């Protein structure tokens, strides 16, 4: 089944404790992206990747890191989480590069930073 | 600055009512337009899209949207809503020579049975 898989789905952590949210897609998509969703703000892009070893900042990259060592995986790293990073995170991928705007989303990861 | 505006943050309708959700965008160039839907507790999924051609596009589950270039609008419509249409709806815009989607803030639609 074609899908984007995120883990963990739910996480409660404390300020400063490094964490990684994994994202994997099995559709051979070149383009992958991370978003955060906050009430009343819609989706805001954190980072995106056009292809392996190519990543770029989105609208709200501060406090986050990403890597794209393989085509299928695009982990999101919070080196020192803070409470303002409490949010719902979505990973997404797109066929045919980023040109189409047609995104396939993961199920979401709800992160709470205390 | 490029932006997408969704007029209503919350809409409450009764079953069988007609639906129109507004979306206006600010972008200086040719665009691709999208509506995504997020059902409660689920991920976002594409509802419909406009790239070119007929400005009236049809999507899944009886939804349609009309692109009016002169008004910079891409409103979502459904003639008769069902309880299962309860969800949050997001409008998004992308310049054809750009890679990034610009998202609206979303409209939460609640259908009363």
SS3 B51: coil
Residue A41, min C-alpha distance to chain B (Å): 5
CA–CA dist A8, A94 (Å, integer):
21
Residue B98 vs residue A47, higher pLDDT = A47
Kindly calculate the radius of gyration of chain B based on its CA atoms and give it in whole angstroms: 13
Residue partners of B55: CB distance under 8 A and separation at least 6:
B66, B67, B68, B69
- Residue A98, pLDDT above cutoff 80: no
Structure tokens, B109: 């639609």
* Buried/exposed code over A77-99 (b: 16+ C-beta within 10 A; e: otherwise): ebeebeeebbbebbbbbbbeebe
Q: Of B32, B90, B104, which has the smallest distance from its Cβ to A101's Cβ?
A: B32
| CB-CB under 8 Å, A58 with B32 | no
Are B44 and A105 inside 8 Å of each other by CB? yes
Summarised one tens digit per residue, pLDDT across range A66-94 is 999 999 999 999 999 999 999 999 999 99
Q: Which of B43, B44, B101 sits opposite A101 (nearest CB)?
A: B101
Q: Give which of A46, A95, A97, A101 to mutate to test B binding, by max B Cβ within 10 Å.
A: A101
pLDDT in tens, A47-60: 999 889 999 999 89
Check: CB of residue B18 under 8 Å from CB of residue B109.
no
């Amino acid at each position: 089944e074609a899908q984007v898989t995120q883990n963990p789905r739910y996480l409660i952590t404390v300020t400063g404790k490094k964490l990684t949210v994994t994202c994997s897609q099995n559709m051979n998509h070149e383009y992958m992206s991370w978003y955060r969703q906050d009430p009343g703000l819609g989706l805001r892009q954190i980072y995106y990747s056009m292809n392996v070893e190519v990543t770029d900042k989105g609208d709200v990259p501060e406090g986050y890191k990403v890597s794209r060592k393989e085509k299928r995986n695009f982990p999101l790293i919070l080196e020192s989480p803070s409470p303002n990073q409490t949010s719902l995170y979505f990973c997404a991928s797109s066929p045919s590069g980023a040109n189409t705007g047609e995104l396939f989303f993961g199920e979401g990861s709800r992160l709470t930073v205390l | 600055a490029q932006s997408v505006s969704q007029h209503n943050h919350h809409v409450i309708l009764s079953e069988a009512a007609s639906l129109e959700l507004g979306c206006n965008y600010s972008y200086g160039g040719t665009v691709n337009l999208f509506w995504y839907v997020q059902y409660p507790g689920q991920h976002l999924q594409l509802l419909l899209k406009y790239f070119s051609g007929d400005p009236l596009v049809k999507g899944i589950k009886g939804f349609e949207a009309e692109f009016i270039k002169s008004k910079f609008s891409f409103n979502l419509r459904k003639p008769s809503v069902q309880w299962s249409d309860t969800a949050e709806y997001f409008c998004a815009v992308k310049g054809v020579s750009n890679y990034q989607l610009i998202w609206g803030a979303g409209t939460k639609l609640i259908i009363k049975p």
